[in-house]
Structure 1
Amino acid sequence: MIIRRTLISLKAAGLVNVAAGTGGAELAVKPEDFTLFDIYKASGSMEENIFGFHEQPNPACPVGGNIHNILDSHLADAQKAFEQSLATVKFSDLAAELKKAESAEK
């Protein structure tokens, strides 16, 4: 079920073509033309903060009353850095790493 949902998301983003039934899936884009960030976007992960926490802290608590004021900007910066890092890794880079790892195992 998870793989099916993932393929549907990747298909909607135009990254893969999926054949009905047991036809399988194939890339719709050259591996050098998309990044891990494109996959991340396609998965819907960008719709929320990856560091979502404590949605309703107690405002009377010294920590809870200030937690979002103190941490939110730092966590937003960390998320931005994470997303920028993903954008530097092309799918073709991963394929090359896999090929290298397979060669090393032989």
Structure 2
Amino acid sequence: MKDTKFSIAIHILSMIALSPHPINSVEIAKSVGTNPSYIRKIMSLLKDHKIIENHRGKTGIQLLVDPAQLDLLTIYKIVEEDDPHIFQVHQNANAECPVGRNIVNAVFPFLDDAEKIPHNY
């Protein structure tokens, strides 16, 4: 099975953008259905590319980029090492979390169309 870093990165960014309060990797991990260390691994990739910032010992992760300016291909290239391919959705999203409950229906129907577009980059 393919790694799901891409779908988890979208989940992370969605939670940061939509949260009315500062959130941390533990809260995000509960929504995604994985452990906080895996969330921090993906967040590290996003941080290296100046998409988010967080500070050790401080609660809260901030977006450094306007969500409207982020595109899926940019996120994909940050977390994956190869060209776009069939996207896998993480399996254990928390149904009690608003993002966890809706992430698949909100984002992933569009990916079927995106995969059919030839990419010349």
If the TM-score is normalised by the length of the shorter chain, which range does it land in? 0.3 to 0.5
Which of 1 and 2 has higher RCO (CA within 8 Å, sep 6+)?
2
* TM-score (ref. length: structure 2): 0.37
* TM-score (ref. length: structure 1): 0.42
Of the two, which has the highest radius of gyration?
1
